[in-house]
Structure 1
Amino acid sequence: MKRVVITGAGTINSLGHSVPETLEAMREGRCGIGPLDFQDVERLSIKIGGQVRGFEAEGRFNRQQMVLYDRFTQFTLIAAKEAIEQSGLEFVGDLAARSGVILGTAGGGVSTWDANYRSVYEDGKNRVHPFVVPKLMNNAAASHVSMEYNLKGPSFTVSTACASSNHAMSQAFQMVRSGMSPAMVTGGSESMLCFGGVKAWEGLRVMSKDACRPFSANRNGMVQGEGAGVFVFEEYEHAKARGAEILCEIIGSAMSSDASDIVMPSKQGAARAISGALKDANINPAEVGYINAHGTGTAANDKTECAAVADVFGPHADNLMISSTKSMHGHMIGGTGGVELLACIMALRDGVIAPTIGYEEPDPECALDVVPNEARDANVNVALSNAFAFGGLNAVLALRAV
Structure 2
Amino acid sequence: MKKSAPSPSCHPKRIVITGMSVISTLGDDLGAFHANLLRGKSGITAWKAPVSGCFSRIGGDMSAYDMGAKLSSLGRILPTAVFRRLGKLVHQSPRATGIGMLIAGQAFADAGLFGVKIRPERLSAILAGPYLYDLYKQANWLAFASDPDDSDVALALKEMDTDALACIMEVLGINGPCFSTGGACAAGNIALRTAMDEIRYHGSSAALVVSGFHELTPASLHSLARMGALSLDRFDAEPGRASRPFAADRNGFVPATGAAGLVIEELTHALGRGARIYAEVLGVGINTNSSRNPTPQAEPMARVMELALEEADVDKNEIDYLCAHATATPLGDLAEARAIERVFGARAGKLKINALKSMLGHQLGASALVEMVACVLQMRNGVLYPTINMERRDPEISLDVCANQCVEYRPDTVMKNAFGFGGVNSAAILRRYD
Pairwise same-fold verdict (TM > 0.5): yes
Match of 2:272 among 235, 241, 246: 241
- Residues 43-74 of structure 1, C-alpha deviations (whole Å, 9 max, x = no match): 2211111122652235537576433x222222
- How far the C-alpha of 1:232 sits from its partner, in A, is 0.3
Q: Structure 2: how far apart are the matches of 1:245 and 1:63?
A: 30
Aligned to 2:330: 299
Alignment of structure 1 residues 214-293 onto 2, 5 Å: 214-293=245-324
Q: Structure 2: how far apart are the matches of 1:98 and 1:63?
A: 26
- How far the C-alpha of 1:201 sits from its partner, in A, is 2.6
Aligned to 1:19: 30
Aligned to 1:95: 119
Aligned to 2:46: 35
Match of 2:215 among 189, 192, 196: 192
Query: In 2 relative to 1, CA 70–2 (structure 1 residues): closer, same or farther, beyond 3 Å?
Result: same
Query: In 2 relative to 1, CA 91–312 (structure 1 residues): closer, same or farther, beyond 3 Å?
Result: farther
- How far the C-alpha of 1:179 sits from its partner, in A, is 5.7
Match of 1:84 among 108, 111, 114: 108
Secondary structure at the counterpart of residue 139 of structure 1 = helix
Letter in 2 for 1:393: V
Aligned to 2:189: 166
Tell me the TM-score normalised to structure 1 length.
Answer: 0.94
Aligned to 1:66: 91
**Quick check: 2:210–2:261 contact (8 Å CA) kept in 1?**
yes
Secondary structure at the counterpart of residue 243 of structure 1 = coil
Aligned to 1:388: 419
Aligned to 2:365: 334
Letter in 2 for 1:260: S
Secondary structure at the counterpart of residue 365 of structure 1 = coil
Q: Structure 2: how far apart are the matches of 1:269 and 1:134?
A: 38
- How far the C-alpha of 1:267 sits from its partner, in A, is 1.2
Alignment of structure 1 residues 119-198 onto 2, 5 Å: 119-121=143-145, 123=146, 125=148, 128-178=151-201, 180-198=203-221
- How far the C-alpha of 1:231 sits from its partner, in A, is 0.5
- How far the C-alpha of 1:381 sits from its partner, in A, is 0.3
Secondary structure at the counterpart of residue 272 of structure 1 = helix
Secondary structure at the counterpart of residue 11 of structure 1 = strand
Letter in 1 for 2:56: I
- How far the C-alpha of 1:107 sits from its partner, in A, is 2.1
**Quick check: 1:290–1:347 contact (8 Å CA) kept in 2?**
no
RMSD: 1.9
- How far the C-alpha of 1:116 sits from its partner, in A, is 1.6
Query: In 2 relative to 1, CA 131–65 (structure 1 residues): closer, same or farther, beyond 3 Å?
Result: farther
- How far the C-alpha of 1:204 sits from its partner, in A, is 2.3
- Residues 164-183 of structure 1, C-alpha deviations (whole Å, 9 max, x = no match): 11111111122223362110
Aligned to 1:51: 61
Aligned residues: 399
**Quick check: 1:188–1:334 contact (8 Å CA) kept in 2?**
yes
- How far the C-alpha of 1:318 sits from its partner, in A, is 1.7
Q: Structure 1: how far apart are the matches of 2:358 and 2:163?
A: 29
Gaps of 5+ in 1: none
Alignment of structure 1 residues 208-219 onto 2, 5 Å: 208-209=231-232, 210=235, 211-219=242-250
Stretch moving more, 24-33 or 112-121: 112-121
Letter in 2 for 1:241: G
Letter in 1 for 2:276: E
Query: In 2 relative to 1, CA 141–20 (structure 1 residues): closer, same or farther, beyond 3 Å?
Result: farther
Q: Structure 1: how far apart are the matches of 2:38 and 2:63?
A: 20
**Quick check: 1:252–1:398 contact (8 Å CA) kept in 2?**
yes
Tell me the TM-score normalised to structure 2 length.
Answer: 0.87
- How far the C-alpha of 1:89 sits from its partner, in A, is 0.9
Gaps of 5+ in 2: 1-11, 72-85, 236-241
Letter in 1 for 2:129: T
Match of 2:133 among 106, 109, 115: 109
**Quick check: 1:102–1:157 contact (8 Å CA) kept in 2?**
yes
- How far the C-alpha of 1:125 sits from its partner, in A, is 4.3
- How far the C-alpha of 1:82 sits from its partner, in A, is 1.6
Q: Structure 2: how far apart are the matches of 1:139 and 1:295?
A: 31
Q: Structure 2: how far apart are the matches of 1:155 and 1:397?
A: 22
Letter in 2 for 1:184: A
Secondary structure at the counterpart of residue 387 of structure 1 = strand
**Quick check: 1:13–1:228 contact (8 Å CA) kept in 2?**
yes
**Quick check: 2:89–2:167 contact (8 Å CA) kept in 1?**
no
Name the % identity: 31
- How far the C-alpha of 1:190 sits from its partner, in A, is 2.2
- How far the C-alpha of 1:133 sits from its partner, in A, is 2.4
- Residues 202-253 of structure 1, C-alpha deviations (whole Å, 9 max, x = no match): 3322111331100101001001111111010011111111111100000111
Q: Structure 2: how far apart are the matches of 1:95 and 1:13?
A: 32
Aligned to 2:356: 325
Stretch moving more, 29-38 or 361-370: 361-370
Q: Structure 2: how far apart are the matches of 1:88 and 1:28?
A: 29
Secondary structure at the counterpart of residue 143 of structure 1 = helix
Q: Say whether residues 1:349 and 2:380 are aligned partners.
A: yes
Aligned to 2:342: 311
